[in-house]
Amino acid sequence: MNDILEKPRKIYVTRKIEFNAAHRLFNPELSDDDNLRIYGKCSGEHGHGHNYLLEITLSGTIDRRTGYLFDLKELKTILEEEIVARFDHRHLNFDVRELDGNVPTTEILAVTVWDILESRLRTIDNKEVFLHEVIIHETGKNSVRYLGE
């Protein structure tokens, strides 16, 4: 038999999920005019919503016993518990304590998602799995990519 895993193989696994959330891009330390100039219509008083697409990529070596880097069913469960339950159908300015005191831009959201997932992954038994990348698509044309740097 050919032992494909004779040497460690670094691999990347990605899971996608969707969630819907509202936010208002507004910095209370700035004037209304400055907020309008910086954030445009996104600074509107009542906010607006997005159908976010989140891509999470893990990296590491393939487990010789299972042939997996990480069980995608388990990753789906983690994403549902940590991300969907926390962000879906929420107003990011008011309903998500991890975003308190921040303008909830997609950049801030990506860093927050990273921190949440990195913390959860540290509790997993497999020490060979690492969070590699978080991509959040705010629209079909706009996305943010964060690598934990």
Report, as an integer, the average pLDDT of 39-45. 94
Report the pLDDT value the prediction gives residue 1, as an integer from 0 to 100.
52
When comparing pLDDT for 66 and 141, which is higher?
Answer: 141
Catalytic site includes residue 42 = yes
Side-chain-side CA neighbours of 24 within 13 Å: the count stands at 17
CATH of the domain at 64: 3.30.479.10
The answer as to whether 1 is a domain residue is: no
Report the pLDDT value the prediction gives residue 64, as an integer from 0 to 100.
85
Report, as an integer, the average pLDDT of 49-68. 94
The single residue of 74, 81, 89, 118 carrying the catalytic annotation is: 89
Supply the range of the domain harboring residue 69: 10-22+50-146
Catalytic site includes residue 50 = no
The answer as to whether 28 is a domain residue is: no
The answer as to whether 141 is a domain residue is: yes
Report the pLDDT value the prediction gives residue 32, as an integer from 0 to 100.
95
Cα(74)–Cα(4) distance, rounded to whole angstroms? 25
CA angle 113, 114, 115 (to 5 degrees): 90
pLDDT at 43 over 80: yes
Under the banding of pLDDT at 50, 70 and 90, the label for residue 63 is confident
Q: What is the domain count for the chain?
A: 1
Mean pLDDT over each residue of the chain, to the nearest integer: 94
pLDDT at 131 over 60: yes
Cα(86)–Cα(66) distance, rounded to whole angstroms? 31
The answer as to whether 73 is a domain residue is: yes
Cα(14)–Cα(12) distance, rounded to whole angstroms? 7
Catalytic site includes residue 89 = yes
pLDDT at 47 over 80: yes
pTM > 0.85: yes
Under the banding of pLDDT at 50, 70 and 90, the label for residue 2 is low
The single residue of 23, 50, 137, 138 carrying the catalytic annotation is: 138
For the residues of 40-57, what is the DSSP string, one character each?
A: GGGG-TT-EEEEEEEEEE
The answer as to whether 32 is a domain residue is: no
